[in-house]
């Protein structure tokens, strides 16, 4: 049975954030709100927690994972970012974008696309997610919470609780979230390619 925390969306309770971080550091799987629906997360290096997330979502080894980061300095540790890409990111983060880059050696190989050695990066515009990352002190391995046979991210924390309270360790209820997928921008091949148009305005990258 997972913990279920009612977290204030604009002023998250530090005590609840600290408890969630302790669970994550102890190998736990977290469900948390972002600016594009709810997501599943775990510690970057935790192979068992990652395997649990793959089972929940029925993912194969070709799935593209994302590192949720506090800020651009964290992205620069894990991604190969040139100056022009860095300027674009600076102007458009935090926000509802996922950026694809080649990963550095700091990224565990099992998280990267096996052929292209790429991984997604996000700086979410959500207070709960940002406070969680600040308290954790490192990126969170993340994937959107889309249940098998569904097309869109889960947005209702009470339904999430009914479906997954025995499969994860902590659920952060940040209220009902609309379904708004991120816009995906691929920087990995030296040019800027808009892979998916979502809630982030693609025009700065076109």
Residue 190 banded pLDDT, cuts 50, 70, 90: confident
Residue 40 pLDDT exceeds 90: yes
Q: What is the pLDDT of residue 100?
A: 97
- In the block, tokens 């959500």 appear at 126
Look at the chain and count its residues: 206
Residue 13 pLDDT exceeds 90: yes
Query: Using CA atoms, how far apart are residues 69 and 160, in angstroms rounded to an integer?
Result: 24
Residue 62 banded pLDDT, cuts 50, 70, 90: confident
Concatenated DSSP letters for 25-59?
HTT--EEEEEBTEEEEEEETT-HHHHHHHHHHHT-
Q: What is the pLDDT of residue 35?
A: 92
Torsion of CA 121, 137, 62, 199, to 10 degrees: -40
If phi > 0 it is left, if psi is from -120 to 50 it is alpha, else beta; for residue 175 that is left
Q: Which of 58-62, 110-114, 132-136 has the highest mean pLDDT?
A: 132-136
Q: What is the pLDDT of residue 149?
A: 86
Mean residue pLDDT of the chain comes to 95
Are 66 and 98 in contact, with CB atoms under 8 Å apart? yes
Mean pLDDT of 16-38: 97
Mean pLDDT of 161-190: 94
CA-closest candidate to residue 43, choices 71, 21, 60: 21
Structure confidence by residue, pLDDT tens digits, 70-119? 999 999 999 999 999 999 999 999 999 999 999 999 999 999 988 899 99
Structural domains in the chain plus CATH codes: 3-205 (3.90.870.10)
Q: How many beta carbons lie within 10 A of that of residue 97, not counting itself?
A: 28
């Amino acid at each position: 049975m997972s913990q279920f925390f009612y977290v204030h969306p604009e002023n998250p309770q530090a005590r609840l954030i600290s408890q969630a971080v302790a669970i994550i550091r102890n190998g736990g799987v977290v469900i948390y709100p972002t600016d594009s629906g709810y997501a599943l997360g775990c510690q970057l290096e935790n192979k068992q927690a990652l395997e649990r997330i793959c089972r929940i979502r029925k993912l194969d080894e070709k799935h593209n994972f994302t590192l949720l980061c506090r800020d651009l300095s964290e992205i620069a540790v894990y991604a190969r970012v040139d100056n022009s890409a860095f300027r674009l990111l600076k102007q458009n983060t935090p926000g509802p974008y996922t950026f694809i880059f080649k990963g550095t050696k700091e990224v565990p190989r099992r998280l990267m696309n096996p052929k292209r050695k790429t991984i997604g990066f996000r700086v979410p515009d959500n207070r709960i997610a940002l406070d969680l990352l600040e308290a954790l002190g490192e990126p969170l391995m993340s994937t959107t919470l889309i249940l098998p046979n569904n097309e869109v991210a889960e947005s209702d924390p009470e339904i999430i609780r009914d479906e997954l309270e025995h499969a994860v360790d902590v659920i952060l209820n940040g209220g009902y979230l609309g379904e708004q997928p991120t816009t995906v921008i691929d920087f990995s091949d030296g040019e800027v390619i808009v892979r998916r148009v979502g809630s982030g305005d693609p025009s700065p990258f076109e």
